[in-house]
């Protein structure tokens, strides 16, 4: 990985020069040599970095444009095969503050994945939790534990940790989509296991609805046979028609004078696990936001990092000091504790995912 630490010798200089530090003397220098030789580091030279007054992420606010990503993914589709070994034709967003690592934020992976007509991405499983979100196109079925799940614009699809999954393009058109995973978190925590499955998707049927949806995706209705709380949602696909209707209804209720919107002109829904009412997966929260044209959100910040994908419309985004205009397919990251403010130029639809379940489980959540 590219996350190796720089050589430690500057520590000594910092220690000798630092505020509140004793005058440098040969004895002090010798003390620091002793620390170095024994691979020891004193807290007093590092405390500002290690224990900041508030989170100061190495990750930086950044925007990637779909108009740049898609042609590169297409080119990869021409030049790079998909198959065993590489596993996926997925191209990750690399946050410029994270030393070249393929991490969108310190905890989250975000990638554009591309599959040509007739291609299969081989079956595998891993402990990392994954989802797909489709911003354009259709025609790929992702088989999750053998259950083929159609992928279409606006759909949010789950591949929870340790579920076998392969992707099959059943059409004559290529398809691109967004992947989100907790790969960086799993890397830091050393929780990763991986197991290959068959080289090809075995069930290449193309049902409209997956078995998972037929069992689980009826509003407010849980199969009585399914009594256990599951760590991840059993719903393999959250369909756009439902998300869209929920958001449209929130805004319509607002117009009729009824409560429900998150803020004026701002509808929002969270994708949930029907067995718990909580987040869809243990490490990833996913939401969809719709702002009426002209709505501007108050700057707000929270502990933990997010990735946003513009699903439709255009607007202006401010994250800390950074400011961009965004349009359909553009992605941007919000590092921990950096304030985010959105202004909707047109009606603006945003898909968002974050590490919030981890932050909350650690009792580290704060916002203002």
Which range binds ligand GTQ by CB under 6 A, 83-91, 200-208, 227-235, 325-333? 83-91
- φ and ψ at residue 39, rounded to 5 degrees: 55, 55
Shortest Cβ 88–ligand GTQ spacing (Å): 4
Shortest Cβ 208–ligand GTQ spacing (Å): 22
The answer to whether 344 and 297 have CB atoms below 8 angstroms apart is: no
Query: Distance (Å, rounded) from C-alpha 23 to C-alpha 6?
Result: 26
Partner residues linked to 110 by β-bridges: 180
C-beta of 111 vs 307, nearer to ligand GTQ: 111
Which range binds ligand GTQ by CB under 6 A, 85-93, 200-208, 234-242, 323-331? 85-93
Shortest Cβ 261–ligand GTQ spacing (Å): 33
C-beta of 36 vs 87, nearer to ligand GTQ: 87
Residue of 69, 152, 40, 15 whose CA lies nearest to 327: 69
308-337 binders of ligand GTQ (CB under 6 A): none
Query: Distance (Å, rounded) from C-alpha 282 to C-alpha 163?
Result: 14
**Residue holding tokens 């909350």?**
360
Task: Give one DSSP letter per residue of 39-57, joined into a string.
Answer: T---GGGTHHHHS-SS---
By CB under 6 A, tell whether 90 contacts ligand GTQ: yes
By CB under 6 A, tell whether 111 contacts ligand GTQ: yes
Query: Distance (Å, rounded) from C-alpha 178 to C-alpha 280?
Result: 17
C-beta of 15 vs 281, nearer to ligand GTQ: 281
By CB under 6 A, tell whether 209 contacts ligand GTQ: no
- φ and ψ at residue 243, rounded to 5 degrees: -60, -50
By CB under 6 A, tell whether 179 contacts ligand GTQ: yes
Which range binds ligand GTQ by CB under 6 A, 84-92, 231-239, 290-298, 320-328? 84-92
Q: Classify residue 173 as exposed, middle or buried by CB count within 10 Å of its CB (0-12, 13-18, 19+).
A: exposed
Work out the number of other CB atoms within 10 angstroms of the CB of residue 162: 15
Shortest Cβ 92–ligand GTQ spacing (Å): 7
C-beta of 24 vs 83, nearer to ligand GTQ: 83
DSSP E strand boundaries for 70-118: 90-92, 109-115
Figure out which of the listed residues 45, 107, 113, 233 binds ligand GTQ, where binding follows CB under 6 A.
113
C-beta of 112 vs 251, nearer to ligand GTQ: 112
By CB under 6 A, tell whether 181 contacts ligand GTQ: yes
Helices and strands, number each (H, E), in the chain: 8, 20
C-beta of 87 vs 314, nearer to ligand GTQ: 87
Provide the CA 241 distance to its chain's centre, in angstroms: 22
Tokens standing for residue 29: 């220098």
Shortest Cβ 81–ligand GTQ spacing (Å): 15
The answer to whether 337 and 54 have CB atoms below 8 angstroms apart is: yes
142-171 binders of ligand GTQ (CB under 6 A): 165
Query: Distance (Å, rounded) from C-alpha 2 to C-alpha 348?
Result: 36
Shortest Cβ 137–ligand GTQ spacing (Å): 16
Shortest Cβ 200–ligand GTQ spacing (Å): 14
Shortest Cβ 243–ligand GTQ spacing (Å): 21
Residue of 346, 311, 338 whose CA lies nearest to 322: 338
Q: What binding mask, one character per residue, do residues 274-313 give for ligand GTQ by CB under 6 A, x or -?
A: ----------------------------------------
Shortest Cβ 114–ligand GTQ spacing (Å): 11
Q: How big is the chain by its Cα radius of gyration, in Å?
A: 23
Q: State the residues that interact with ligand GTQ by CB under 6 A.
A: 87-88, 90, 111, 113, 126, 130, 165, 179, 181
């Amino acid at each position: 990985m590219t996350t190796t630490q720089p050589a430690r010798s500057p520590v000594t200089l910092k220690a000798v020069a630092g505020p509140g530090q004793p005058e440098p003397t040969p004895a002090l220098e010798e003390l620091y040599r002793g620390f170095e030789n024994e691979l020891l580091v004193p807290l007093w030279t590092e405390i500002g970095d290690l224990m900041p007054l508030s989170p100061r992420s190495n990750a930086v606010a950044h925007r990637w444009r779909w108009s740049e990503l898609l042609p590169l993914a297409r080119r990869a589709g021409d030049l790079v095969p998909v198959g065993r070994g590489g596993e996926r034709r997925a191209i990750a967003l690399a946050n410029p503050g994270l030393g070249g690592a393929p991490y969108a934020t310190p905890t989250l992976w975000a990638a554009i994945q591309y599959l040509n007509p007739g291609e299969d991405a081989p079956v595998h499983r891993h402990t990392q939790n994954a989802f797909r979100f489709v911003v354009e196109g259709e025609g790929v079925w992702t088989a999750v534990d053998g259950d083929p799940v159609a992928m279409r614009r606006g759909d949010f699809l789950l591949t929870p940790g340790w579920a076998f999954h392969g992707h099959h393009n059943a059409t004559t058109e290529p398809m691109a989509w967004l992947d989100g995973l907790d790969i960086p978190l799993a890397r830091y925590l050393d929780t990763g296991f991986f197991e290959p499955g068959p080289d090809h998707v075995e069930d290449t049927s193309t049902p409209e609805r997956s078995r998972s949806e037929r069992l689980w995706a009826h509003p407010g209705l849980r199969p009585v046979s399914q009594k256990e709380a599951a760590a991840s949602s059993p719903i393999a696909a959250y369909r756009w028609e439902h998300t869209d209707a929920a958001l449209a209804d929130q805004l319509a209720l607002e117009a009729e004078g009824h409560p429900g919107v998150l803020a004026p002109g701002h509808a929002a829904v969270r994708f949930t696990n029907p067995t718990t009412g909580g987040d869809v997966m243990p490490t990833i929260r996913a939401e969809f936001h719709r702002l009426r044209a002209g709505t501007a959100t108050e700057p707000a910040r929270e502990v933990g990092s997010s990735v946003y994908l513009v699903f439709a419309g255009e607007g202006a985004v401010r994250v800390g000091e950074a400011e961009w205009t965004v349009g359909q397919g553009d992605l941007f990251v919000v590092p921990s504790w950096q304030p985010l403010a959105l202004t909707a130029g047109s009606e603006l639809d945003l898909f968002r995912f974050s590490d919030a379940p981890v932050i909350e489980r650690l009792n580290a959540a704060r916002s203002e």
